[in-house]
Amino acid sequence: MTRARRTSRAATPCAVLLACTIAEPARADPPHWEPGNRTTSTVAGEIGTPEPEPVSDGVYGRFAGDLDLGLGLGADIGPSVLGAARVSLHYFSMAGLYVGYGDSLSEPTAGESTDRRRLALGVDVRPAFVPRWAKDMEYGPGVIDLWIDSISLGLGAFWAEPTGADFGDQRGFELSLGFGVPLFASASGLWLEARGFLRWPEGAAAEPAALALLSYHVLFESPIARRED
């Protein structure tokens, strides 16, 4: 046997013994829990532990009923300024009908040629809600989701009473685009609503107008959706 082999065989046990000696201090006894000592782990719901944030379902109460009834009061601002009332009814917060009424609430001044009263009927469509909810695009917060879903397109007819004429002497069509902002991030309750209009009186050019409302919405089940006991 050569000197190199003898040296290699002698060095091997020494290397193993040295490695074990170095590694020995790194060993630590397994943790031992004793009654009365605090633990470092937390349990969900433990006092002092923050609760997880609730996850929104993206509906915000809109499935509480199949019909959304809205009642609003405000101002219709156009060639004339009228006190305004609007009633809307939407099926599953999407397709619906509306009735709008405007009244000047004051006597006309000399030479004034504006509408004294106006009644409008039409359809109103909010196309965003169901597609966005079905595709899990309702991320919140609720105010933003409801605002986006409230964007609507309206089309209707109106009958007006110009100064010095009878009600219905002026009539025409109207097209509107509107949205609403819920004050409590819920489909039910108070909303601030705004709409922009283009009205085409019969035989006249289009007239722009704006509508601002404070409205209250409530959802309820119609006989069609109500289950039988």
What whole-number percentage of the chain has pLDDT above 90? 50
Q: Which two tokens stand for residue 126?
A: 């909010």
pLDDT at residue 129 greater than cutoff 70: yes
pLDDT-derived band at 140, boundaries 50, 70, 90: confident
Are 161 and 118 a contacting pair, CB within 8 Å?
yes
Q: Is the dihedral of CA 178, 184, 185, 187 positive or negative?
A: negative
Q: Which CATH number fits domain 67-220: 2.60.120.10, 2.40.160.20, 3.40.50.2000, 3.40.50.300?
A: 2.40.160.20
- Bridge partner residues of 71 (DSSP): 87, 216
Question: In degrees to the nearest 10, what's the CA dihedral of 142, 144, 147, 151?
Answer: -130
pLDDT-derived band at 27, boundaries 50, 70, 90: very low
- DSSP letter at 126? -
The residue behind tokens 């595709």 is: 135
Rounded-to-integer distance, Cα 184 and Cα 182, Å? 6
Domain residues of the chain, as ranges? 67-220
- Bridge partner residues of 191 (DSSP): 182, 215
Q: Tell me: the pLDDT tens digits for 70-91?
A: 999 999 999 889 999 999 999 9
- The b/e string for 170-207 (b: 16+ C-beta within 10 A; e otherwise) is bebbbebebbbebeebbbbeebebebebebebeeeeeb
Rounded-to-integer distance, Cα 35 and Cα 133, Å? 51
Rounded-to-integer distance, Cα 150 and Cα 1, Å? 94
Quick one: which H or E segment has residue 7? helix 3-23
What local confidence, expressed as pLDDT, does residue 8 receive? 44
3-state secondary structure of 164: coil
The mean pLDDT of 214-227, rounded to a whole number, is 87
Global pTM value: 0.71
Rounded-to-integer distance, Cα 13 and Cα 207, Å? 101
Reference 94, options 134, 141, 143; nearest CA is 134
Rounded-to-integer distance, Cα 29 and Cα 23, Å? 14
pLDDT-derived band at 222, boundaries 50, 70, 90: confident
Reference 120, options 191, 172, 68; nearest CA is 172
